[in-house]
Structure 1
Amino acid sequence: MAYTLGIDIGTYETKGVLVDETGTVHGQAARGHQMLVPRPGWAEHRPEEDWWGDFAHVSQTLVKDSGIDPADIKAVACSAIGPCMLPVDATGTPLMNGVLYGVDGRAEAEVNELTDRIGEDTIIARCGNALTSQSVGPKILWLKQHRPEIYAETAHILTSTSFLVQRLTGEVVIDHYTAANFSPLYDVTTQSWTDDLADDILPLTKLPRLLWSNEIAGHITPAAAAETGLAAGTPVTAGTIDAAAEALSVGVDHPGDMMMMYGSTIFIILRTQTRAADPRIWYAPWLFEGEHASMAGLATSGTLTHWFRDQVARDLDVAEAFPILAEEAAGSPPGANGLLMLPYFSGERTPIHDINAKGAVFGLNLTHTRGDIYRALIEGIAHGTRHVTDTFAELGQSPTRLLAVGGGTKNALWLQATSDITGIDQIVCKKTVGASYGDAFLAALAVGVVERNDIANWNPAQHTVPASPRAEYDTAHTLFRRLYEQTKDIAQELG
């Protein structure tokens, strides 16, 4: 039997899975970590402890607990939160904490500077995406302007997955899907690095070598084998961002397939026939050469439910809090007794791209309960999600099939509210392991153990959450959109 290993580094937890060639899971392991917020609008991870330390721990645990001979593990693939920005020196040693994806908005000034200088239309035409807090290029420019001593020592700029692959193999690589987030340094028309648009951000020699996600980046070194319990010489793929691996895990493989990932954030990937260019959404080449995808993401989703539990439900035991809160929210009617919540607790990504957007609960009176507020929170995330799906519809990119995945799929209230508010049925697959399962499939694909269509057998559909559209939700969505528009100037002044 041939086995493959997949490990994913999430915002708050690392998960790994050991899978055989039929998709049967032979081991799972996890390890938690924290997202650091050193100041408002910033978000970081410690690369040694949270990325490589977690990977090594989870890998060792899987090999030890499964009893599987490491020599029988035919390939390894990893994914991680992204796109991140990590400067490393010539030895591959991190020079600072990893700067996280769009939830980190420290480079707002650099986003504006580059957009003004290059022009948004040019950036979208060449890079496929407007510059936002999700873009890595402005964060590299921030590094140059605000941490010149670190910039001067930088040999390479890595992202989270690149860092793991470099530790495993010694190779400095990045997959095209991730690289497309390095705007304005990646040209989607040629699928290569470019300094045509801004030659003062970083020498291109300091960017990783480009690969497709199903290509082998290198092989596990003896040093990495000693730390991970894996066999030296085991092939390692280029890997990708966690959301793409999660999409693969539930069978997003054909144009019209959409994944909705319920995690720390809501992240959406839609496989498309051709490249879409619109500043409200993101574009990237898909994991495989010649294919396309459009993406969108909220800034806070699962993170917001954790905030609510920790700040508003301190009387509840942590292990029991979410089921109790869901029960309380279920006692509140659709519309949460007239409450609206803007879920912009870390600004917002798509489709408004407003780092200064603020969270808000509107409509409170003395009759409202904690259950009403928690329901309004869930519905606020769902309204933010509808704003995205409505944007896709305006671009002629409505999904033909929507597959839901992630830890939030265990929250029936959240799933149903999302179906009802967006008006889209959601399919939940049998396995909700997530990105690490997609990594294991990608590893198997890279070494020829499986074919692409085998994912339907690995992870078949289990049930559907049908949409039951409600007039009150349509009204609430209109008010939700108006509430943001009528308060964004105040949010901007609050800073």
Structure 2
Amino acid sequence: MSYVIGVDLGTSAVKLLLVNQVGEVVLEVSKEYPLLHGKAGYSEQYPDDWVRQTLAGLKEIVATFSGDPEEIEGISFSGQMHGLVLLDETHKPLRPAILWNDTRTTAECKAIYEKLGVENVHKATKNPVLEGFTLTKLLWVQTHEPELYARTSVFMLPKDYVRLKLTGEVHTDFSDAAGTLLLDIEKKQWNDEMCKSFQIKPSMCPPLVEAQAEVGTLTTEIAAETGLSASLRVFAGGADNACGAIGAGVLEEGKTLVSIGTSGVVLSYEASGSKDFAGKVHYFNHGAPGVFYTMGVTLAAGHSLSWFRQTFSEGKPFKELLEGIETIPPGSDGLLFTPYLTGERTPHVDAAIRASFIGIDARHTEGHFVRAVLEGITFSLRESLEVFRSQGKEITEVVSIGGAVKNKQWLQMQADIFNVDIVKLAGDQGPGMGAAMLAAVGSGWFESLRDCAASFLKQEAIYHPNPDHVHVYNQLFAFYQDVYPATAKLSQKLANFR
């Protein structure tokens, strides 16, 4: 039996999966590392913490594995997007990495739009300019740490730095590069206009490869330290959302992914990079070669439910909190929730908007509020689906992953609100499985990622829309869409009192 390793470099931990040739997860290891919050809005990590914990995970896999390490043929990576790692000429980090959830770069976002114009930026990048993107971080370092910036030889994305330390090779893949605001996603090359406009030398941008490209083998030192074979084939890997799409089988037209964690993501397959969404959603290169995906984000998805539980239900276990929600009718007896606890991303890029409960009356119980929170999160996710549908996209099924799949009622609610079949996979492993699948295809086990998905991924359940509920939710969704414009200015005024 042969095996591959999928490494998922997350924000709080690195997760490693050892997967066999039939898609079974043989071993799973997770290693945490700290976040640094030196100032309000700052979010950083030491890149070498990622490397140290990844190596610790690899050593644990080898020590626990009952087979021969020579049977492990390939390794690939998934990683948190947008993070900025600046390296000197010896490929040593010049400063802590600035992460995707760092919000210090509001002024840089404004400067990008002011210099090039909103329409020109969206035309060049196919994405809105947000604090999370890598370009804004580069501009912040230019302004606030110019001596350090002058010493920069190359910038890298988080997973690519880890892979560099395993192989000695500098690369990034198209799906991660797409999240920098510096890639021409259609031409699949660094965007000269964006680089020249902001004094970024072409040599600072790492060489580009496909996510399943073989980029080297382990160095002799890393092989000796981990116990893995020095001939282990290393494949580039992709951005976490791209790998999540691969791991959910979103590899053909009509396939869409909904992932509900702390935030919520709606991701849909696109065969072409030529559509124009005017910056309303993200538009990135897929981890599968030659194709793309569009993505909308709800900032406080699962976080809204966690907040409600902690604030009003004394930390009651989630299973207990959700018991009985099926007894509450769709629409929660006239109670509506908008999940804008920390602002919103899609389709409203608004850091000031805040959440609302609308329609509270004395009949409403804890169960009503819980169901309203679930409905509000799902309505927010539907707004991204409607952006896709407005461009003529036909969505035939949605694969649901993340915390929501633990509750059957919430899965049925997604089917009813989205008005589409919801698929729950067996053994939901997310981006780590996508990384393993890249390694499996790169190692020659399958001709394509689609073939790999057909073998590795199994459906556990399908939830079909209830026509009566669909009718109710279509009406309520129109009301939900009225709440943002009705409360946006009020939220801005209330911000002065926070």
TM-score by length of 2: 0.90
**1:256–1:62 CA distance, 2 compared to 1 (3 A):** same
Unaligned runs of 5+ in 2: none
What corresponds to 1:386 in structure 2? 382
- 1:431 equivalent to 2:430? Answer no
| 1:237-248 equivalent positions in 2, closer than 5 A | 237-248=235-246
Please tell me the residue identity of whatever aligns with 1:264.
T
Residue 174 of structure 1 and its aligned partner are, at CA, apart by: 0.9
Residue range with higher mean Cα deviation, 324-333 or 341-350: 324-333
Asked whether the equivalents of residues 129 and 277 of structure 1 are also in contact (C-alpha less than 8 Å), the reply is no
Residue 229 of structure 1 and its aligned partner are, at CA, apart by: 4.1
- 1:290 equivalent to 2:290? Answer yes
Residue range with higher mean Cα deviation, 333-342 or 446-455: 333-342
What corresponds to 2:185 in structure 1? 188
Residue 204 of structure 1 and its aligned partner are, at CA, apart by: 2.3
Residue 416 of structure 1 and its aligned partner are, at CA, apart by: 2.2
Q: Give deviations 1:343-376, integer Å, cap 9, x for gaps.
A: 2233222222223332333344555444333322
What corresponds to 1:377 in structure 2? 373
Asked whether the equivalents of residues 140 and 201 of structure 1 are also in contact (C-alpha less than 8 Å), the reply is no
Q: Give deviations 1:105-137, integer Å, cap 9, x for gaps.
A: 332222222122212322233322232334321
What corresponds to 2:76 in structure 1? 77
What SS does structure 2 have at the residue aligned with 1:338? coil
**1:188–1:485 CA distance, 2 compared to 1 (3 A):** same
What corresponds to 2:304 in structure 1? 304
Please tell me the residue identity of whatever aligns with 1:116.
E
CA RMSD of aligned residues (A): 2.5
Residue 85 of structure 1 and its aligned partner are, at CA, apart by: 2.1
CA distance in 2: counterparts of 1:40 and 1:125, whole angstroms: 33
- 1:5 equivalent to 2:2? Answer no
**1:135–1:417 CA distance, 2 compared to 1 (3 A):** same
Residue 60 of structure 1 and its aligned partner are, at CA, apart by: 2.4
Asked whether the equivalents of residues 389 and 398 of structure 1 are also in contact (C-alpha less than 8 Å), the reply is no
Asked whether the equivalents of residues 78 and 434 of structure 2 are also in contact (C-alpha less than 8 Å), the reply is no
CA distance in 2: counterparts of 1:186 and 1:67, whole angstroms: 43
What SS does structure 2 have at the residue aligned with 1:133? coil
CA distance in 1: counterparts of 2:264 and 2:148, whole angstroms: 33
Asked whether the equivalents of residues 325 and 371 of structure 2 are also in contact (C-alpha less than 8 Å), the reply is yes
Residue 25 of structure 1 and its aligned partner are, at CA, apart by: 2.2
Residue 434 of structure 1 and its aligned partner are, at CA, apart by: 1.6
CA distance in 1: counterparts of 2:195 and 2:488, whole angstroms: 31
Q: Give deviations 1:34-91, integer Å, cap 9, x for gaps.
A: 6665556554444333x33432233222222222322211110110221222323334
CA distance in 1: counterparts of 2:167 and 2:215, whole angstroms: 8
What corresponds to 2:271 in structure 1? 273
Residue range with higher mean Cα deviation, 467-476 or 447-456: 467-476
Please tell me the residue identity of whatever aligns with 1:354.
D
What corresponds to 1:131 in structure 2? 129
CA distance in 2: counterparts of 1:293 and 1:98, whole angstroms: 26
| 1:352-363 equivalent positions in 2, closer than 5 A | 352-363=348-359
Asked whether the equivalents of residues 14 and 32 of structure 1 are also in contact (C-alpha less than 8 Å), the reply is yes
Q: Give deviations 1:184-203, integer Å, cap 9, x for gaps.
A: x2122421113323522522
**1:38–1:349 CA distance, 2 compared to 1 (3 A):** farther
CA distance in 1: counterparts of 2:217 and 2:335, whole angstroms: 54
What SS does structure 1 have at the residue aligned with 2:241? helix
**1:289–1:438 CA distance, 2 compared to 1 (3 A):** closer
Residue 440 of structure 1 and its aligned partner are, at CA, apart by: 1.0
Asked whether the equivalents of residues 9 and 81 of structure 1 are also in contact (C-alpha less than 8 Å), the reply is yes
CA distance in 1: counterparts of 2:365 and 2:96, whole angstroms: 40
**1:168–1:327 CA distance, 2 compared to 1 (3 A):** same
Asked whether the equivalents of residues 281 and 296 of structure 2 are also in contact (C-alpha less than 8 Å), the reply is yes
CA distance in 1: counterparts of 2:313 and 2:97, whole angstroms: 31
- 1:451 equivalent to 2:447? Answer yes
CA distance in 1: counterparts of 2:97 and 2:214, whole angstroms: 25
| 1:11-410 equivalent positions in 2, closer than 5 A | 11-32=11-32, 41-49=41-49, 51-101=50-100, 103-183=101-181, 185-199=182-196, 200-275=198-273, 276-278=275-277, 279-316=279-316, 321-327=317-323, 329-365=325-361, 367-410=363-406
- Aligned pair count reads 488
Residue 328 of structure 1 and its aligned partner are, at CA, apart by: 5.7
**1:198–1:156 CA distance, 2 compared to 1 (3 A):** closer
Asked whether the equivalents of residues 239 and 287 of structure 2 are also in contact (C-alpha less than 8 Å), the reply is no
**1:420–1:412 CA distance, 2 compared to 1 (3 A):** same
**1:353–1:315 CA distance, 2 compared to 1 (3 A):** closer
| 1:402-421 equivalent positions in 2, closer than 5 A | 402-421=398-417
Unaligned runs of 5+ in 1: none
**1:463–1:303 CA distance, 2 compared to 1 (3 A):** same
Asked whether the equivalents of residues 441 and 452 of structure 2 are also in contact (C-alpha less than 8 Å), the reply is no
CA distance in 2: counterparts of 1:426 and 1:124, whole angstroms: 32
Asked whether the equivalents of residues 29 and 62 of structure 1 are also in contact (C-alpha less than 8 Å), the reply is yes
CA distance in 2: counterparts of 1:148 and 1:364, whole angstroms: 53
What SS does structure 2 have at the residue aligned with 1:197? helix
What SS does structure 2 have at the residue aligned with 1:218? strand
CA distance in 1: counterparts of 2:52 and 2:361, whole angstroms: 48
What SS does structure 1 have at the residue aligned with 2:103? coil
CA distance in 1: counterparts of 2:335 and 2:102, whole angstroms: 28
What SS does structure 1 have at the residue aligned with 2:18? strand
CA distance in 2: counterparts of 1:34 and 1:342, whole angstroms: 32
Residue 451 of structure 1 and its aligned partner are, at CA, apart by: 2.4
Residue 20 of structure 1 and its aligned partner are, at CA, apart by: 1.4
Residue 173 of structure 1 and its aligned partner are, at CA, apart by: 1.2
Q: Give deviations 1:12-41, integer Å, cap 9, x for gaps.
A: 443221111221221122244566655565
Residue range with higher mean Cα deviation, 123-132 or 221-230: 221-230
**1:43–1:341 CA distance, 2 compared to 1 (3 A):** farther
**1:473–1:162 CA distance, 2 compared to 1 (3 A):** same
Asked whether the equivalents of residues 214 and 235 of structure 2 are also in contact (C-alpha less than 8 Å), the reply is yes
CA distance in 1: counterparts of 2:262 and 2:199, whole angstroms: 30
Q: Give deviations 1:136-159, integer Å, cap 9, x for gaps.
A: 212221222234354344332222
Asked whether the equivalents of residues 339 and 364 of structure 1 are also in contact (C-alpha less than 8 Å), the reply is yes
What SS does structure 2 have at the residue aligned with 1:139? helix
What SS does structure 1 have at the residue aligned with 2:193? coil
Residue 214 of structure 1 and its aligned partner are, at CA, apart by: 0.7
CA distance in 2: counterparts of 1:35 and 1:348, whole angstroms: 23
Residue 292 of structure 1 and its aligned partner are, at CA, apart by: 2.6
Asked whether the equivalents of residues 295 and 384 of structure 2 are also in contact (C-alpha less than 8 Å), the reply is no
Please tell me the residue identity of whatever aligns with 1:48.
D
CA distance in 2: counterparts of 1:36 and 1:61, whole angstroms: 26
% identical equivalent positions: 27
